Structure 1
Amino acid sequence: MASSFDTTLAGLGINRTGATTPQTITRAQQQTLGQDDFLALMTAQLKNQDPFEPVDNTQMVGQMAQFSSLAGITEMGSTLKAIADKLGASSIGDAIGWAGRTVLTEGSVAFARASGGIEGAVELDKAATDVSVTITDMNGGVLKTIPLGAQKAGTARFDWDGKTEAGEDAGAGPFKVSVRASEGAAAVTARSLVWAPVASVSMASGEPMLTLPGIGQVKASAVRSVG
Structure 2
Amino acid sequence: MSIETQPLLAELGLTARPVERKRELGQDDFLRLMTEQLKNQDPLKPLASNEFLGQLAQFSTVQGIESLNASFAALVSGVDSDRTLQAAALVGQSVLVAGDRFRLSEDGGLSGEVEAPAAGPITIEIADAGGAVVRRFTVEADAAGPLAFTWDGLGDTGQALPAGDYRIAARFAQGSQTLAVPTYLSTRIDSVSLTAQGPILNLAGLGRASLADVRRFG
* TM-score normalised by length of structure 1: 0.68
Q: Paired residue for 1:87? A: 79
Alignment partner for residue 195 of structure 1, among 177, 186, 206?
Answer: 186
Letter in 2 for 1:219: S
SS across alignment from 2:182: strand
The aligned runs of 1:102-141 (5 Å cut-off) are 102-108=94-100, 109=102, 118-123=110-115, 132-136=122-126, 138=128, 139-141=132-134
Alignment partner for residue 51 of structure 2, among 39, 46, 59?
Answer: 59
Q: Is 2:40 the partner of 1:48?
A: yes
Q: Is 2:212 the partner of 1:225?
A: no
Change (3 A) 1:44 1:142: same
Query: Unaligned regions of 5+ residues in structure 2, if any?
Result: 1-17
Say if 1:128 and 1:182, in contact at 8 Å, map to a contact too.
no
SS across alignment from 1:141: strand
Change (3 A) 1:78 1:163: closer
CA distance in 2, matches of 1:137, 1:158: 19
Say if 1:135 and 1:177, in contact at 8 Å, map to a contact too.
yes
Deviations 1:90-109 (A, max 9, x none): 22222222221111111123
Q: Paired residue for 2:69? A: 77
Say if 1:132 and 1:149, in contact at 8 Å, map to a contact too.
no
Alignment partner for residue 209 of structure 1, among 189, 197, 200?
Answer: 200
Q: Paired residue for 2:135? A: 142
Letter in 2 for 1:94: Q
CA distance in 1, matches of 2:205, 2:151: 20
Say if 1:144 and 1:163, in contact at 8 Å, map to a contact too.
no
Letter in 1 for 2:209: V
Q: Once the 2 structures are TM-superposed, how far is the Cα of residue 137 of structure 1 from its aligned partner?
A: 5.1
Say if 1:110 and 1:173, in contact at 8 Å, map to a contact too.
yes
Task: State percent identity of aligned pairs.
Answer: 28
Q: Is 2:146 the partner of 1:156?
A: yes
Letter in 2 for 1:199: D
Say if 2:121 and 2:138, in contact at 8 Å, map to a contact too.
no
Say if 1:98 and 1:198, in contact at 8 Å, map to a contact too.
yes
Deviations 1:196-221 (A, max 9, x none): 11223222226322222332111234
Alignment partner for residue 60 of structure 2, among 68, 75, 78?
Answer: 68
* TM-score normalised by length of structure 2: 0.70
Task: Give the count of matched residue pairs.
Answer: 195
SS across alignment from 1:198: strand
Say if 2:119 and 2:140, in contact at 8 Å, map to a contact too.
no
Q: Which has the higher strand share?
A: 2
* CA RMSD after TM alignment: 3.6
Letter in 2 for 1:223: V
Q: Once the 2 structures are TM-superposed, how far is the Cα of residue 149 of structure 1 from its aligned partner?
A: 6.5
Say if 2:119 and 2:141, in contact at 8 Å, map to a contact too.
no
SS across alignment from 1:49: coil
Query: Unaligned regions of 5+ residues in structure 1, if any?
Result: 1-22
Say if 1:162 and 1:171, in contact at 8 Å, map to a contact too.
no
